[in-house]
Every structure is written in C-alpha cells, then in structure tokens.
Amino acid sequence: MICKLENKEVEELKTTNILPQTPFWGRIKSDQGFTAKAFELTVSKDVLTHTTNTQAKVEDDLLVLIKYMDEQHCFAYVPYGPKLEPSFENQGLFLEQVSESIRPHLPSNCMFIRYDLMWKNQWAAEKDYFDECGNWLGAPSNHTQEYRVNFKTSNWNLRKSVSDSLPKNTFFLDLTQKEQDLLGNMRYNTRYNVKKAINKGIDVKEYGTEYIANWYKLYVETAIRHNMPLQNKDYFASILSNQDNHSKGVNVKMLMARANDQFLSSMFLVLSKNRATYLYGASANSKNNLMASYALQWESIRLAKSWGCTEYDMFGSAPNLNQTHPLRGVHIYKKGFGGNLYHRMGCWDYPYDQKLYDIFRYQELKN
C-alpha cells in the first residue's frame, strides 16, 4: 500500500529528467491558470513489482495540477507522473492506491484525477501489435486496455481518457555516443541535409527574450501551415523567464537558425538533469532548400551533449509511418536523426464523482 503521502512546496521538488514533473513546469502551468501542488510519496515496493519483501519502501516526488472548470468543479492532472513505474501487471493497483491516498489532499469538488503516464505502453512490448515491417499498430480498444489495467484493482475504476495531452510517442537519442557516431546513425538524407545547411552558411545561436517576436513570427507561420491551435506570445516569454537560475534546475535555450538577416527556423531546447527536450519548434514558409531546421536540430543535440545530457527527447511523433497520420512528416523528420521510438501509456482517469465525470467525458467526446 501507499505508506505515506505528504505535502511539500512545489519549489522543493527534486531535480528530474521528467520535465513536466519539475518546479519549472509547475510555474509555467500556474501562469496558465492551473493550481500546482506537490507531494512526496512513500510506496511499499510490493505495489510496484512482485517481491516478498513487503517492508521495502520507495520514495519519489509528485507534481499535481488542479484545473477549475468553474467555481464548483475541478479536476486533478498529473503530467508524466507518477515517475515511479510499476511492472505491467501492477500498474492499475499502483494508480488506484495513489488515487485513493491523494484524494483527501485534493479539493472536495475534484471530479477525477488524470494521469498522463510516461510509462512504456504495455502493448508496445508485444509482437502481436507490430506489422511485418516493424511498425507499431497501436494499442487495442479502450475496453481491452481498461480490462487489463484494472487487473488486481479493488474498485475497477480506471478509465482510458478520451484523448492524450502530452505527446504519447517520441524518439529518444542516446547522447552518450560520440558526435561522429551520432552523425553516423542518422539516415543518409538527414546527415546530407545537416551538412548541406552548414555549407550553405546557416548560423545557429541562442537568443534571449528580446527576440521573442522573431520566434513568434516563425511559430505563427508554422501553426497556420499545419492547422495547429495557437499559444500567445506571452506564453513563450514565460517559458524563458520561468527557467531556474542554477545549474541543477531547468535551463531553457531559445535557439534560432538564420541565413544573412533572415530567421528561418527556431526551437526551445529545455535541459533538465540528464535529459534534453525539444519542446517547441517553428520554421519559415520560405527558403526550405537551405535545410535550416536540420542545422538547428544538430546544433541543439551538440549543445545538449556539451551540457552533460545523456539523452535527447524529440517530444512528439506519430506512432508509425501510417500515410494518414497528421504527424507522419514529423515522424520521418525526427526518425532521421537516429533515435529509438518510444510509446507511452498516455492519459488515464480515476473518477471520484462518477456522474460528473461521465458528463465531463461526454463533453470531451463532443469536442
């Protein structure tokens, strides 16, 4: 069972590779209207995995975000948490124990808690869910997923969310390799485009908040081109201003690639403990032949490596090469840099008020 759950200050959360479980993320989301709460979990090890030693305990931090829909209704959201990852057969049991233990610490009008799980997807570990070319076909129906995840639970209350919030599929690059090996592991076309961009004189540098308007111009062009919802400019300024001012915290780099006096590509690279995350990217509609985004990505990889990061999270991709998937182009671009594709479990809900949860879920389905 969960042995202990204690409140702590958000700024006291320990440094972690999991960016959405940092004080930095809590500050960003607070600016967006969430209420950030932090806890320390102490868990009996037998909840995580099969063991006969029921006295063994494991501790970890947990960032929870409270979102009010109106004065009477709210829900709790756990971005890429809990970080502790149980064995497949214990995932539901663990989430049930956490959900019931955290309930008294949440507002009394909290309808449900939603976990955006970064754990490896159970069905990505089974051969039956891959085609003959090695493409993952995705998880089965929600009903089938819920049946397995609720195994061993008492309340049978975990529900697969209508949609996922944070990226469910991503590529991870191993930065412990030498630069020449990282280049060698790229697909031929990607490596060629990196070298072409450098030879064409693409210049990549870090820029501060005084260049946020230049970033935003590229971002708007990209959002319109891909029919994406728009964040406002202040949101991106807050990402830069909310970063930590010490080496053990979160550091944000706004990198921009330019040719002559024109910015062609830009990105937010976020460094947290041993992981670098490619959080946002944008590019101009013109001069694609200069391959600026390839030089930008390569320089960000080199920068992350120089900072001591051991892995690089591309932060979002299609799950496979399906022709109809809207992120297929993103998948091809990121795959070219030689990383390994990782599939997460995505969002799961634990309702506290079943009636209100069903109404909320219906509204989500309509939207």
Domains and CATH numbers, the chain: 2-165+345-366 (3.40.630.30), 176-309 (3.40.630.30)
Lowest mean pLDDT among 50-64, 89-103, 251-265, 338-352: 50-64
pLDDT for res 21: 97
Token pair, residue 191, equals 């490596």
Q: Is 51 helix (H, G, I), strand (E, B) or coil?
A: coil
Q: Count other C-beta atoms under 10 Å from residue 114's C-beta.
A: 22
pLDDT band for position 323 (50/70/90)? Answer: confident
pLDDT for res 1: 54
Q: Which residues contact 65 (CB under 8 A, 6 or more apart)?
A: 26, 29, 34, 35, 36, 37, 76, 77, 78, 79
Lowest mean pLDDT among 5-9, 159-163, 283-287: 283-287
Query: Parallel, antiparallel, or unpaired for β 275-283 and 169-174?
Result: unpaired
- Helices in 226-284 by DSSP H: which ranges? 233-241
Q: Count other C-beta atoms under 10 Å from residue 277's C-beta.
A: 24
- On whether the CB atoms of residues 3 and 57 are closer than 8 A, the answer is yes
Q: If you average pLDDT over residues 46-57, what whole number do you get?
A: 77
Closest to 317 in 3D by CA, of 291, 345, 300, 342: 342
Whether 3 has a pLDDT exceeding 80, the answer reads: no
Whether 219 has a pLDDT exceeding 70, the answer reads: yes
What's the per-residue H, E or C state across 119-181?
A: EECHHHHCHHHECCCCCECCCCCHHHHHHHHCCCCCCCCCEECCCCCCCCEEEEEECCCCHHH
Percent over 90 (pLDDT), the chain? 82
What digits encode the pLDDT tens for the residues 154-204?
999 999 999 999 999 999 999 999 999 999 999 999 999 999 999 999 999
Q: What is the pTM of this model?
A: 0.94
Whether 111 has a pLDDT exceeding 90, the answer reads: yes
